[in-house]
Amino acid sequence: MRRRTTALLSLATLAALLPAPAGFADPVDPATGGGGATTLPGMPERLAQGQEECTKHPGRVTTEAPWTRRALGLDQVWQLSRGRGVTVAVVGTGVSDAPAVLAGRVRALGSAGEDCVGRGTFQAGLAAGAITPGHGFSGVAPEADVLAVRGTGERGEPDPAGLADAVRRAAEEGADVITVTAPLDGADPGVRAAMAAAERHDALVVVPAAADGAPSGGSGGPPAPPPPAEALAVVDTGPRGDREKGAPRYTRADLTAPGAALVGPGPVGDGKWTASGSSLAAAVTAGAAALVRSYHPRLRASEVRDRLLSGAYPGAELPALDPYGAVSGIARPAAAAPAGERPVALPERADTTGGRSAALLVTAVSVGVIVLVALAAVVLPRGRARGWRPGRWDAADRRGT
């Protein structure tokens, strides 16, 4: 009995050491990499009707890296460029430098250093938030500088004329890249004048192709007007590379970029917020433009625009932003390409023939080993007892004793 127990223990040890057949690993969530999630407050576009106080909530502290870091391959492109020496103008509700990721790197025109809503600070963080110890979040161009220009009312009220004039002022102040918080109408005379100023001062203007908020009812509302031809028009996508049903509509877009369920700083403290919209996708793209302008300082704004488009991932309808491709001029290595953040189609039923064959082989080998060890446990003791002399068939054997 002792020998049989020893043999069974040996078999158990052997089974534990045998490799598991391929094809049976636990699945991993492609959007999160299997990690947990932190619930963050939502960043508003403008203050609610009747709300008198500015946004004072400090957000929620999190050390988790947002999904965009992996989807955009930022760790790879940061080996080439981090946006140093480039100024990104954020035209919107203003930008606060209170968050650690923006501290000491914001220059404001007039009252734009105060952000009562918080949306502009969020956009600036997406474009140029610094890499800070203890923060999983950082912007696309973490070493770029920020120029804050107010283009809305203090409460975030839309102001098309003010938005166009703010683009002009940002260009005249030396911004290399300009991102705005709302779509621009390419047919508007004020917008055309602003784009002419941007061209004179060699500034790339990145605009949202659609509004951030859809009207109630989920129909998407009327499409945004066609953006200026000289601007780079961007529309938002989510972690799976597509837009939500009923998202705001657009007339023309050049590029898609992450713009849903994004994480960024707020105007107070170092907590983080979440928000969605095409203006946020434009801010992300502006950060990528800063990476290109820093790495290729001799390129003009139109050439940077072309490089962002030529380096993008081909898509079914629109190309998708790829900062590494834009900076380097080549596709990202396969190992660094995003898994699960691109549009996902359910595959056909997987062919598990190889895995099944490996499992059967391991099972057969294991059964064979068990049989051999069991026979050895019975035969060896009897052989030693007879001095290894051959046995003989007698009456006792015939009776089964």
- Give the tens place of pLDDT for each residue, 300-345: 999 999 999 999 999 889 999 999 999 999 876 654 444 443 333 3
Mean pLDDT of 19-36: 34
Lowest-confidence segment of 4-18, 182-196, 219-233 by average pLDDT: 4-18
> What is the residue-averaged pLDDT of the chain?
82
Arithmetic mean of pLDDT, 98-105: 96
Q: Global pTM?
A: 0.76
190 pLDDT exceeds 50?
Answer: yes
Render pLDDT for 129-164 as a digit per residue (tens, 0 to 9): 999 988 889 999 999 999 999 999 999 999 999 999
CATH: 3.40.50.200, 3.40.50.10800, 3.40.50.720, 3.40.50.1820. Which one for 67-336?
3.40.50.200
Helices 278-295 and 301-310, interaxial angle, to 10°? 110
Looking at the chain, the whole-number percentage of residues with pLDDT higher than 70 is 72
d(CA 279, CA 259): 8
Q: What pLDDT is recorded for position 344?
A: 31
pLDDT at residue 110 tops 50: yes
Q: What is the 3-state secondary structure (H, E, C) of the chain?
A: CHHHHHHHHHHHHHHHHCCCCCCCCCCCCCCCCCCCCCCCCECCCCCCCCCCCCCCCCCECCCCCCHHHHHCCHHHHCCCCCCCCCEEEEEECCCCCCCCCCCCCEEECHHHHCCCCCHHHHHHHHHHCCCCCCCCCCCCCCCCEEEEEECCCCCCCCCHHHHHHHHHHHHHCCCCEEEECCCCCCCCHHHHHHHHHHHHCCCEEEEECCCCCCCCCCCCCCCCCCCCCCCEEEEEECCCCCCCCCCCCCCCCCEEEECCCEEEECCCCCCEEEECCHHHHHHHHHHHHHHHHHHCCCCCHHHHHHHHHHCCECCCCCCECCHHHHHHCCCCCHHHCCCCCCCCCCCCCCCCHHHHHHHHHHHHHHHHHHHHHHHHHHHHHHHHHCCCCCCCCCHHHHCCC
Average pLDDT for residues 46-51, to the nearest whole number? Answer: 91
d(CA 37, CA 248): 27
Q: Are 178 and 205 in contact (CB under 8 A)?
A: yes
Average pLDDT over residues 372-395: 57
68 Cβ contact list (under 8 Å, min separation 6) = 74, 258, 262, 263, 284
User: Given a cut of 80, is residue 254 above it in pLDDT?
Assistant: yes
Whether 374 has a pLDDT exceeding 80, the answer reads no
Distance from C-alpha of 31 to C-alpha of 64, rounded to nearest angstrom:
13
pLDDT of residue 11: 39
- Can you give the pLDDT at residue 260? 95
Tokens of 281: 């996708």
379 has pLDDT over 90:
no
In this predicted model, which residue has the larger pLDDT, 215 or 396? Answer: 215
Return the higher-pLDDT residue of 247 and 388. 247
Q: Identify the residue with better confidence: 167 or 385.
A: 167
Q: Is the pLDDT of residue 356 over 70?
A: no
- Tell me what the mean pLDDT of segment 35-60 comes to: 87
Mean pLDDT of 182-206: 98
pLDDT interval class at 368 (50, 70, 90): low
pLDDT band at 55 (very low <50, low <70, confident <90, very high): very high
Domain layout of the chain by residue ranges: 67-336, 353-390
Q: Determine the pLDDT at residue 389.
A: 60
User: What whole-number distance in Å separates Cα of residue 104 and Cα of residue 342?
Assistant: 35
